[in-house]
Structure 1
Amino acid sequence: MNAPKTPASRFANLWPLCLGSLGIVYGDIGTSPLYALRECFADHSGLVASEHNILGVLSLITWSLIVVISIKYLLVVMRADNDGEGGILALMALVGLHEAPKSRIRGVVILAGLFGAALLYGDGVITPAISVLSAVEGLDVATPFFRPYVVPITIVILTGLFWVQHRGTEKVGFVFGPVMIVWFSVLTILGLVQIVQEPDVLRAVNPYYLVQFFEHNGIKGFLILGVVFLVVTGGEALYADMGHFGKTPIRLTWFTVVLPALLTNYFGQGALLLRNPDAIAHPFYHLVSGWLLYPLVLLSTVATIVASQAVISGAFSLTMQAIQSGLMPRMEIRHTSDEEFGQVYVPLVNWLMMIGTIGLVVLFKSSSALASAYGIAITTTMVITTLLLFLAMRELWHWSLPAALFVCGIFLPIDLAFFGANLIKVLDGGWLPLLIATAIVIVMTTWDRGRDLLVERIQRIGMSDDDFFAKLDEHRPQRVPGTAIYLWSRPGDVPLALVQNIRMNHVVHEMIIILHINFSRRPRVPASERIKVERLRDDFYRVTMHFGFVQNPNVPRALRLTNQLPVKCGDKNTIYVIGRETVLSVPNIGMAPWRERLFVFMSRNALRANAFFSLPSDQVLEIGTQIEI
């Protein structure tokens, strides 16, 4: 037996996790000081950099970080973990474990969860563009010579970033944490230097200045919330990456390193503006002067690359979860680490994101213009997260209705205020993430509905166990040596490929295994629960194989590790038989014609099952069937 972990060993293991969380979890929110305060006083905001406004905005930033990030996400939302995993899809699966009392309500909740997950793709396209562009713009602050080259340099950096994704974060991940330690240390030092020169800026900690800001600015003050929201845009990442590092390292790192560094730097920028309002053009880079500006631009660029890497990796993980949840067609997924399940690379998603990100840089040309497209996606996701959290409080934690309403009654108005303030950005660019999310939701719902229709058609032409064995006894086909493993999605029925093979070839193997692969609502299924074997009769077995929605479904490996079958699977006498359904669109049967055509297109271009389940190509037999929907 393994000796129990001592407090010293648990403490030693905690620090690597804390270091990793700095590099992966906090890249997005950690680079917000590059542009957040600047955008609050940009020309389009109409807000003058007066003392009252500076203190008011700083107070808004302070309490947004405390309430939204520290309290809502770190202390409350992270309690809703699905076997340690977080993120909106994990929360949706968690809430889905308990049936809602009304199907219509449940349908709305599921659709809202899908939309919230889809919005993260929009964020994944915008974040690398605005982060890297805002960092490179520091060269323009240093000298106007670089102004024409800001966009080309940004494009080169982004192209390189997406190009190296196939190598996996495992190859470069070890430098993320140390880079971000340097980054947060620099943020703290630069902020402290300014605060020492203008200590009156610390008055903004008092929420009185927040209230006074709204009193003086009215509707203009409310609309500034759409820009202030930029300081909390990494909130969803804290929850989504919980499974990689655990709650304790993420919380510890936030309260001891990230939050102090961010507040110190924001207050430092505020102190600078109190002394020199002209620095509002780029307050972050005006925290230094002379030759120090160039290493700061370099460090900022590296930090934004780290932040972008985290968002891109998150999109890969989200895609894998969506595929294994049956919400997207199978596509190529490469696991870039033998130890970390979450480290995956999805080529199609990578290149589509690269095209979208570079397209945004070319279209908007500056981080200030991109800020108009930023925020609406995350605010919408945060609102949806709060609504799903309410269901978790009631159905999973069994909180009383008053208690759940009280807690969500604090968070939801704040989320809705940020959401409302960001609505004005829709026409200025906020339509882009909404358009991306809508397209992805259409793909998800079309694939889900199409698969349901396909199952219905298969069920009509399928054969039950009793009928199959009756036919088998009647015709008695010839038995041939070897083991045939038939992959089939419907437990309890006989695979169409098996029926067709007997009907057309009049043979059946000595050993038949009907394999059903089930993706659990849980992120991971332990090896002890991986396989369930049922003996149907003689040499016919039904095997149900369980994987979590973040696990690699390597079927041959799982079969080799089981001793529940009378034969050893995996040798050259074993073949894998896959039924390949060719879907035909027929008018007035299933979905709208355009959705049927979309489903047919996705079905025909989906990754083949042998590649998705890691089957050896020289041991796979495909038997096709045409099915109308």
Structure 2
Amino acid sequence: MDDGGIQEEPPSARFLTPTRSGGTRWVDGSEVDSSESAALSLGDERSGETVSAEGSAAATGPASRVSSGTFRRRLGKRPRRVDSLDVEAMNVRGAHGHSSKELTMLSTIAMAFQTLGVVYGDMGTSPLYVFSDVFSKVPIKSEVEILGALSLVMYTIALIPFAKYVFIVLKANDNGEGGTFALYSLICRYAKVSLLPNQQRVDEDISSFRLKLPTPELERAMFVKDCLEKKPLFKNILLFLVLMGTSMVIGDGILTPSMSVMSAVSGLQGQVPGFNTDAVVMVSIIVLLLLFSVQRFGTGKVGFMFAPILGLWFINLSSIGIYNIVKYDISVVRAFNPAYIYLFFQTNGMKAWSALGGCVLCITGAEAMFADLGHFSVKSIQVAFTAVVFPCLLIAYMGQAAFLMKNPLAVERIFYDSVPGVLFWPVFVIATLAAMIASQAMISATFSCIKQAMALGCFPRIKIIHTSKKIMGQIYIPVMNWFLMVMCIIIVATFRSTNDIANAYGIAEVGVMMVSTVLVTLVMLLIWQTNLFLVLCFPILFGAVEFAYLTAVLSKIREGGWLPLAFSSLFLCIMYTWNYGSVLKYQSEMRGKISLDFILDLGATLGTVRVPGIGLVYNELVQGIPSIFGQLLVTLPAMHSTIVFVCIKYIPVPYVPLEERFLFRRVGQKDYHMFRCVARYGYKDVRKEDHGFFEQLLVESLEKFLRREAQEIALETSTMEAERDDISVVSEVPQSPASEGDLRTPLLSDQRSGDDNRMGTRDDSAPVLPSSSMSAEEDPALEYELEALREAMASGFTYLLAHGDVRARKESFFTKKFIINYFYAFLRRNCRAGTATLKVPHSNIMRVGMTYMV
């Protein structure tokens, strides 16, 4: 079988076509039931394991020639699979992926309005503190400082968020999903760079996985692909960049609430008599406590308020800006001339370079435009920024600059001093609400990053609560919420000034931007196949600007810039250690697999007593029999009559469609009653399952699998008998209507209407099986196996788990021993158990001690 690169073909059935060598090869098609394709043999899987559907028919040689008609009949169009164990996805219709239909103009405008409350809160509140921080480094001596700083802010916004993110980075989305992990998963699909060796050829048949690989003629893309795949150093560097970017987003999530809330509350200083710094700190802490306390209720109930409030905020910014420009100095429009940037640096020297650290605050939150893409469309984010956010921010900063032209001493409270007196309290209320919404966006982004890191095996399992049954992205992580709250309160109480927090703020943001620049450049080389000159222009132009800002913010490490670096380093160590230990553990499990020959030698009783019941053996292997099963055979006095090896596997795609989630196959002979189930999830899929419903769906899926397997055998037998008189050639395709219908015979005709209505995957155009195939009632072997399955289900389910202890080998280096035996072991002891996701009763769980030497 040809397991090479994915061939992009129009939707069609998957057929066997002749090759020059006389064998056959697979031609990909989107209508094939991927779970039972011959690709499921997994290459190095033991041949003794029989695969339902195509597994038994994928043999080469004379036998395949004789059964060529069988191939053609069995590889016709099939209805979508209906077996799935995902409960939450069944409650959220159309939750997986984005609709392929084009949004109307009205829908795009409505969605663009909604982005104001989710995406642009952080960037929208930056006028509260940008100029006050910039001019704390560069004192105002003439109009050159004001116009230079204004020009610097204007062109920074135009270059980074507008040019880079709106027109380039947003296009590098992963099936509508954005963020650092989305870029990484996109690269993982085009090049095998994942350190966890659990990739399967059949995963490439998932509809959301489908892609157009670089053509062999494009040597540059293939060279990059080979370098990434063949050199472990590049894989580790890429993973390090992704984890570093993610950890910096988390670090940013710690500082954003502190900075935004304190900037808004500080407006009361000077307005309310006796409202000093201590009062600002206390009120800020109270607001932060309120903000983090309501997280457990979710944002769904108050989400509709976000966009109107931010919309009103942007209207206030532009209105006050126009008022100040007209009243004080309309000549600030001269700042559109970039020559003032040169004069600014020429006049102030190193102070101007230090002021870049304050200027970068005007683009904080720009990464949210890409990270929050999954909730919106590219066009809606582009429309909102181009039509509302960009012009309103420019007018706001120009208005503040005009005010400073006449009032240069009002730098410390520039935003509130520039507000007309009669509008102070309404603007203060709106500013405080906008600051809380901006904080909410970063808190939610932190939760999302943690969830994606957990899905890709880069973060320990912790409790995740889904606060909405309709919106999958709304989650709440209690541990992270309280950690963020404590850190924010400590920051506010320690720094006590927005200028001091601003010294720490910005480092994480610039770091994330540089990581996205590197990853998007890699996407251009590997996937987009962009012209080499344009590829080089992207990192040179944007990378140079971001590097200049990075050097400026790094100069403030002693003044507080160490704080986000410390937080980012902590989470980077946690994520990298967890990924490193998980990879070593998986490799140890691969080495310790039990030979199928050994299991077959034990016989159908497995060398013990088989009692009624279903044993779910949870493991991480996608192929082979895990070592825990041998430990179970030795430890337990009896074994369940039906054994299912369950593997929860995450694919580098945002969502796995419901009908493509599960792969079933048989392990050993029929009388062994052993099966493997690989449950595939995307990194943004929701796993929120009740164990009772989980078990019911498992049995239903297994029944459908057994029926399909029996129909396959019956269809193959009847077809081979008919072909004894008339053997067809593989390349011949009958043209008659009757033969055409026969070729498109589905493999599953006994779908119940209830299943079809529930899953919405019924294919009314699919014909039924020919009368020659044997029904379930006429097949005593199938009826016996189904009855045995029902009897096992009636006896109950038992979850068989390994209580694993991972230890470094004695000959390992000291560093490895320290990381694995202490740090990784500590994370494993304190992470959430896998069965907690299913809420399985303790009486249904059996654990066996295992030690993995890595």
Same fold (TM over 0.5): yes
Q: Give 1:458 deviation, angstroms.
A: 3.2
Match of 1:348 in 2: 479
Whether contact under 8 Å (1:501, 1:507) holds in the other structure is no
SS of corresponding position for 1:592: helix
Does structure 1 residue 544 correspond to structure 2 residue 678? Answer: yes
TM-score normalized with structure 2 length: 0.70
Q: Give 1:372 deviation, angstroms.
A: 0.5
Match of 1:594 in 2: 818
Q: Which moves more between the two structures, 363-372 or 434-443?
A: 434-443
More helix by share: 1
Whether contact under 8 Å (1:142, 1:293) holds in the other structure is no
Q: Describe the superposition over 1:372-406 as per-residue Cα deviations: whole angstroms up to 9, x where unpaired.
A: 10111111111111111111100011123222002
Aligned mates of 1:85, 1:380 — CA distance in 2: 21
Match of 1:582 in 2: 805
Match of 1:95 in 2: 187
Flag the 1:409–1:560 CA change in 2: closer, same or farther, 3 A.
Answer: farther
Alignment of 1:56-75 (within 5 A): 56-75=148-167
Whether contact under 8 Å (1:214, 1:222) holds in the other structure is yes
Which is higher, the Rg of structure 1 or of structure 2? 2
Does structure 1 residue 116 correspond to structure 2 residue 245? Answer: yes
Aligned mates of 1:445, 1:30 — CA distance in 2: 34
Query: How many corresponding residue pairs?
Result: 624
Aligned mates of 2:823, 2:613 — CA distance in 1: 40
SS of corresponding position for 1:515: strand
Q: 1:171 aligns with which of 297, 301, 308?
A: 301
Q: Describe the superposition over 1:427-454 as per-residue Cα deviations: whole angstroms up to 9, x where unpaired.
A: 1111111111111111112111212232
Whether contact under 8 Å (1:525, 1:547) holds in the other structure is yes
Flag the 1:616–1:340 CA change in 2: closer, same or farther, 3 A.
Answer: farther
Give the AA of the match of 1:592. Answer: K
Whether contact under 8 Å (1:515, 1:542) holds in the other structure is yes
SS of corresponding position for 1:580: strand
Q: Give 1:17 deviation, angstroms.
A: 2.2
Q: 1:35 aligns with which of 129, 133, 150?
A: 129
Match of 1:46 in 2: 138
Aligned mates of 1:159, 1:570 — CA distance in 2: 49
Give the AA of the match of 2:145. Answer: N
Q: 2:168 aligns with which of 71, 76, 84?
A: 76
Whether contact under 8 Å (1:24, 1:177) holds in the other structure is yes
Aligned mates of 1:521, 1:481 — CA distance in 2: 38
Aligned mates of 1:558, 1:15 — CA distance in 2: 40
SS of corresponding position for 2:275: helix
Q: Which moves more between the two structures, 189-198 or 560-569?
A: 560-569
Aligned mates of 2:119, 2:586 — CA distance in 1: 40
Flag the 1:620–1:225 CA change in 2: closer, same or farther, 3 A.
Answer: same
Q: Describe the superposition over 1:461-516 as per-residue Cα deviations: whole angstroms up to 9, x where unpaired.
A: 44133322323458542221122221110122223443223222242222211111
Aligned mates of 1:334, 1:499 — CA distance in 2: 36
Aligned mates of 2:182, 2:696 — CA distance in 1: 30
Match of 1:625 in 2: 850
Q: Give 1:92 deviation, angstroms.
A: 1.9
Q: Give 1:460 deviation, angstroms.
A: 4.2
Whether contact under 8 Å (2:138, 2:355) holds in the other structure is no
Aligned mates of 1:165, 1:585 — CA distance in 2: 40
Whether contact under 8 Å (1:230, 1:375) holds in the other structure is yes
Give the AA of the match of 2:438. Answer: A
Q: Give 1:11 deviation, angstroms.
A: 3.5
Aligned mates of 1:203, 1:184 — CA distance in 2: 23
* Uncovered stretches (5+) of structure 2, i.e. residues with no partner: 1-92, 94-98, 193-224, 704-788
Q: Give 1:352 deviation, angstroms.
A: 1.0
Q: Give 1:221 deviation, angstroms.
A: 2.2
Match of 1:383 in 2: 514
Alignment of 1:245-394 (within 5 A): 245-394=376-525
* Uncovered stretches (5+) of structure 1, i.e. residues with no partner: none
Match of 2:624 in 1: 493
Flag the 1:512–1:60 CA change in 2: closer, same or farther, 3 A.
Answer: same
Match of 2:837 in 1: 612
Whether contact under 8 Å (1:610, 1:617) holds in the other structure is no
Q: Describe the superposition over 1:334-363 as per-residue Cα deviations: whole angstroms up to 9, x where unpaired.
A: 111112222111111111111111110011
Match of 1:182 in 2: 312
Aligned mates of 2:697, 2:107 — CA distance in 1: 30
Give the AA of the match of 1:85. Answer: E
Does structure 1 residue 427 correspond to structure 2 residue 564? Answer: no
Alignment of 1:18-33 (within 5 A): 18-33=112-127
Aligned mates of 1:303, 1:201 — CA distance in 2: 27
Aligned mates of 2:471, 2:104 — CA distance in 1: 20
Match of 1:405 in 2: 536
Q: Give 1:134 deviation, angstroms.
A: 0.6
Q: Which moves more between the two structures, 217-226 or 482-491?
A: 217-226
Alignment RMSD = 2.4
Aligned mates of 2:418, 2:695 — CA distance in 1: 60
Q: Which moves more between the two structures, 58-67 or 293-302?
A: 293-302
Match of 1:107 in 2: 236
Residue identity over aligned pairs, in percent, reads: 33
Q: Describe the superposition over 1:53-94 as per-residue Cα deviations: whole angstroms up to 9, x where unpaired.
A: 111111111111111001101110111111111111211222
Alignment of 1:195-234 (within 5 A): 195-197=325-327, 198-234=329-365
SS of corresponding position for 1:235: coil
Flag the 1:626–1:404 CA change in 2: closer, same or farther, 3 A.
Answer: same
Whether contact under 8 Å (1:20, 1:177) holds in the other structure is yes
Q: Describe the superposition over 1:288-307 as per-residue Cα deviations: whole angstroms up to 9, x where unpaired.
A: 24353223222211110000
Q: Give 1:9 deviation, angstroms.
A: 7.0
Q: Give 1:49 deviation, angstroms.
A: 5.2
TM-score normalized with structure 1 length: 0.94
